[in-house]
Amino acid sequence: MDIKNICCIGAGYVGGPTMAIIAKYCPDIQINVVDINPDRISQWNASELKDLPIYEPGLKEIVEKCRGKNLHFSTEMKKNISAADLIFISVNTPTKTKGIGSGQAIDLKYVEASSREISKYSKGHTIVVEKSTLPVKTAQTIKAILDAAQKDKSNLENKKTFSVLSNPEFLAEGTAIKDLENPDRVLIGGDDDDAINDLVNIYSKWIEKDKVLRTDLWSSELSKLISNAFLAQRISSINTISALCEATGAKIKDVSLAVGMDRRIGRYFLNSGPGFGGSCFKKDISNLVYISNHYGLFDVAEYWQKVLDINTWQQKRFVELIVNNMFGTISSKKIAVLGFSFKANTNDTRESPAINICKKLIEEGAFLKIYDPKVKKSQIMKDLSSIEKDIDSKKWGYSNSIYSTFENADAALFLTEWGEFASLNWERISNIMRQPAWVFDTRSIVDINQVRGNGISIWQVGYGN
């Protein structure tokens, strides 16, 4: 089939950038990104490109070029689903908060709802591609819903048929455009060779065909989950070693470098920090724990649960050492918080370590002044309120400019590795902080000698004295 029209359900961090790249490289294909959230759609359609709902380096240039030509954003499900030859499901897949599997299993209600919309509105033959990270065997659910539509009496005239593929997305936020343009691999799971070839033809417009890996549906779904689990496991591993370095006087950066230079280990994902955040890692590992328990593999479940436990432990340990270093109390002290997003180069705060750490500091009685170059005040308010309802301006304030954040602060806490934090003027900062001042650097981003040289005490993750 010659794919001429694509619909993507879900205009989020995955759907938006992925469709922008396909639009860029496939000018002959019309792409409609649909979402149930009208606010999000109007942000994608904003005339000022700075108001796009997602910040990703390189994204706004592509949207500017393609929007209105072959890339469209709307809330019209019916029209766009029926016109599509191929539909990506890119909706969010949160962890269940209630009922069986609460806190671990993935809630598939949005995937199911999308499948029902597809079964209702599609016409002719449609390739349905699951892009969302999904528990193993979800494609079966999608297939079952679509099969039911095929058997429906009303289908006799319409002759709806479907092929279901799994095509997980491996992009990381902050480097989404780079990752989409030059992925390590494109993974496609399914048993319909024609449908797989159609999808490969799209990717082959900019990606070498030998990067495409074909598997069955289940292996594809599981591979995505396991890739995320392995990445998260490396972070927990290096974070345990950061504590050992601090206790013994070694330097984590040197250890990471030396270990990572072994090609069998590799140098990526060995930065210790405040623990992993983001929408995927915690959710996916929780799901892996759930699946393992479900199949009676209790030791396997316990092993992966430890990766999550270490992540929480690292954050708790940081809060304790901040309090201990500040004479055992931070009550009524002012702490400048630098960075709130879960990593640099994104405005996303989902599962950001900053949320938990800030919550604990507020509980200890500190006043926080929070600065992040991309996260808006309203988002921080939302995140902090989700853990404490009566959070108010007596407990934290938002800072619009980096240097004013440090005014009269007793301590500065670096939580995100934004590039601008690496080259601060510490002489200026030292003059405006309240002495004796402390810096707590959970990302090894600031220049330790500059800080010390200006009379400020510093603790840096994984850095033993």
Which residues contact ligand UDX by CB under 6 A?
Answer: 9-15, 35-37, 40, 90-93, 110, 113-114, 132-133, 169-173, 228, 231, 235, 269-271, 273, 276-281, 342-343
Task: Determine which helix (DSSP H) or strand (DSSP E) holds 427, and give its type and residue range.
Answer: helix 426-432
How far is C-alpha 40 from the chain's CA centre?
17
Shortest Å, Cβ 39 to ligand UDX: 9
Contacts 24+ apart (CB under 8 A), 21-27: 21/62, 21/177, 21/180, 21/181, 21/206, 22/202, 23/62, 23/66, 23/69, 23/70, 23/71, 24/62, 24/65, 24/66, 25/205, 25/206, 26/70, 26/202, 26/205, 27/69, 27/70
Upstream peptide bond of 94 is cis (omega within 30 degrees of 0): no
Is 119:148 a contact under the CB 8 Å cutoff? yes
Is 65:21 a contact under the CB 8 Å cutoff? no
Q: Which of 24, 224, 282, 360 is catalytic?
A: 224
Shortest Å, Cβ 112 to ligand UDX: 9
Shortest Å, Cβ 370 to ligand UDX: 17
Shortest Å, Cβ 208 to ligand UDX: 19
Q: Nearer Cβ to ligand UDX, position 17 or 190?
A: 17
Q: Which of 56, 117, 130, 169 is catalytic?
A: 169
Q: Nearer Cβ to ligand UDX, position 53 or 190?
A: 53
| Parallel/antiparallel/unpaired status of strands 186-189 and 457-460 | unpaired
DSSP 79-97: HHHHH-SEEEE----PBP-
> Which residue's C-beta sits nearest to ligand UDX?
12
Q: Nearer Cβ to ligand UDX, position 38 or 68?
A: 38
Shortest Å, Cβ 342 to ligand UDX: 4
Q: Nearer Cβ to ligand UDX, position 340 or 438?
A: 340
Structure tokens at 383: 């995140």
Catalytic residue at 280?
Answer: yes
Structure tokens at 170: 């491996």
Report residue 106: phi and psi, to 5°.
-90, 140
Q: Nearer Cβ to ligand UDX, position 280 or 433?
A: 280
Q: How far apart are the first and last CA of the chain?
A: 64
Shortest Å, Cβ 8 to ligand UDX: 9
Q: Which of 8, 66, 245, 280 is catalytic?
A: 280
Q: Which residues are catalytic?
A: 169, 224, 280
